[in-house]
Chains A and B, each alone.
Chain A
């Protein structure tokens, strides 16, 4: 394996994605407008403790923005006929998946960074465990971006179908991951379902970073996000490889 060509391929795929897909309407709608609407719907006009709920809101923003780019890229490229040309360059399926993941994660880091900084500067939010917040912030973006790429991998070449599927998967997750109802207050099956959501661990890590009582130790949150990210990546590469072997 020629690692320099591999790395170059990943960065060039990410660069191409940023240049082309950040400006696409579905990324705006699902990555920016939707979390903003959800914020207004659930937080505005209610006497909620902003310090308590802000980590959850930040996690939700990261979740939506980071996972909004990935689902679009592969179906869009298949539909436009650019996917086969991309595969003819010195890149592999894993290069494309990693490049797409980085592009999605950078979008999440940018938007999530703005929201996080605004929260710290404008609201009475305090950070007590900065290192954990930073690591969780980066890892959360990578993990959800990888999830976005995975959502697109079994797809055909119709972007709208994939965006619909990704909305179907993403919406339920925000209700079971401790954003609107703290994890510590969840009981029974709800709590076990929450354990299956990668978003749960980002919410918990950010809660802990903001000085709130955690449900899991910090390293468990980190390991869980890392595990989910690896799982999403391996599955995305496997499915795309399998699909690329089919007759076009």
Chain B
């Protein structure tokens, strides 16, 4: 059984189709990423999966429970950190976590035990009873994630959880989420941070203009974009961009003090660079080759018309 099965999910806002017949499934225990540029439809998709927004068409099944037929049952299986999902700043961290536990029907003793445990794990024990209005963004986000975890949900959905956080908070949160995933929790993550998705996700779904443009593991997506291999070269002095013109080089771009060239054929591209060095009397300071990054794949896919 899939943890989440989304079929033909559609959402329109007036004339705009924000999400257009999206279908995908997330396996149990999988770390699944939703990537896309701003306005691609990621958050609308997450809102429909979590029951915050009703779809115009399509279905969402959460661990066998259809969100339309068993609304509360399906929602109870998820822990959600919405994009615009703040905690109650009039309440303390402890009260926020306890309140969430009440919504999920945890008995008092279990609420108390899990609240204490989460406060310790997120390093909030010393300020557990202080109203969160004076907390930093990172601390509030830690409370927010603790709230989503209090009922130990089988599925954790995080919409941009590390956006704008300090390094320590980000590490703490990523570590905790990875930990939960290792223990069997299915995680769905939307993020702008492609490197984060690359490091964390077993599969990523790239959404653009309301539709899925690719869905696969980061490694396979990279392999599928062989044309986007790069050679990075540093010369001892400035080079005219026109000298990179070659049938083997699709694009050349200056990155700091280096030049990055994109190619389908790294061998021929390197030969071209060596000829350039000899012709111009240049000295090569460094040269590296690399396959396409997930970011390259993402940009290429999102640039292509749907």
Contact = CB atoms under 8 A, between A and B. Distances in A.
B214 interface: no
**Interface of chain A, main secondary structure:** helix
Contact of A90 (B91, B104, B144): B104
B105 A88 contact: no
A85 B146 CA distance: 13
B23 interface: no
A84 B52 contact: yes
A72 B152 CA distance: 32
B99 A90 contact: no
Contact of B82 (A6, A85, A244, A245): A85
Interface string A182-201: 00000000000000000000
B87 A90 contact: no
B88 A88 contact: no
B75 A88 contact: yes
A20 B91 contact: yes
Interface string B144-160: 10010000000000000
B90 interface: yes
A46 interface: no
B88 A84 contact: no
A91 interface: yes
Contacts of A246: 13
Nearest to A246: B13
Nearest to A92: B71
Contacts of A12: 99, 102-103
B120 interface: no
Interface in B91-107: 91, 95, 99-100, 102-105
A245 B51 CA distance: 11
A246 B13 CA distance: 7
Contacts of B147: 85
Nearest to B75: A90
Contacts of B84: 81, 84, 248
B191 to A, nearest CB: 18
A82 interface: yes
A89 B18 contact: no
Contacts of B82: 84-85, 88
Contacts of B13: 246-247
Contact of A84 (B18, B54, B85): B85
B246 interface: no
Interface string A1-29: 11011101100100110011001000000
A16 B52 contact: no
Interface residues of B, number: 36
B169 to A, nearest CB: 18
Contact of A2 (B51, B54, B73): B73
A220 interface: no
Contacts of B90: 19-20, 23
Interface in B184-221: none
B87 A85 contact: yes
B293 interface: no
Given A88-B80, A90-B72, A90-B75, A82 B102 contact: no
A2 B105 CA distance: 13
Given A5-B72, A92-B71, A87 B86 contact: no
A9 B75 CA distance: 12
A108 B91 CA distance: 23
A181 interface: no
A169 interface: no
Nearest to B77: A90
B110 interface: no
Given A5-B105, A6-B72, A82 B88 contact: yes
Interface string A75-104: 000001110110111111000000000000
Contacts of A247: 13, 16, 18
B88 A20 contact: yes
Nearest to A24: B90
B233 to A, nearest CB: 47
A81 B75 contact: no
A158 to B, nearest CB: 16
A57 B268 CA distance: 92
| Most A-side CB within 10 Å, residue of B50, B75, B87, B89 | B75
**10 closest A-B pairs by CB:** A85-B85, A81-B86, A88-B80, A5-B72, A89-B103, A247-B13, A90-B75, A90-B72, A87-B52, A84-B82
Given A8-B102, A9-B72, A88-B52, 10 more contacts: A5-B72, A5-B73, A5-B76, A19-B95, A80-B88, A84-B52, A89-B104, A90-B76, A90-B103, A90-B104
24 contacts: A2-B72, A4-B105, A5-B105, A9-B72, A12-B99, A12-B103, A19-B99, A80-B88, A80-B89, A81-B86, A84-B47, A84-B82, A84-B83, A85-B82, A87-B52, A88-B50, A88-B80, A89-B103, A90-B71, A90-B104, A91-B103, A245-B54, A247-B13, A247-B16
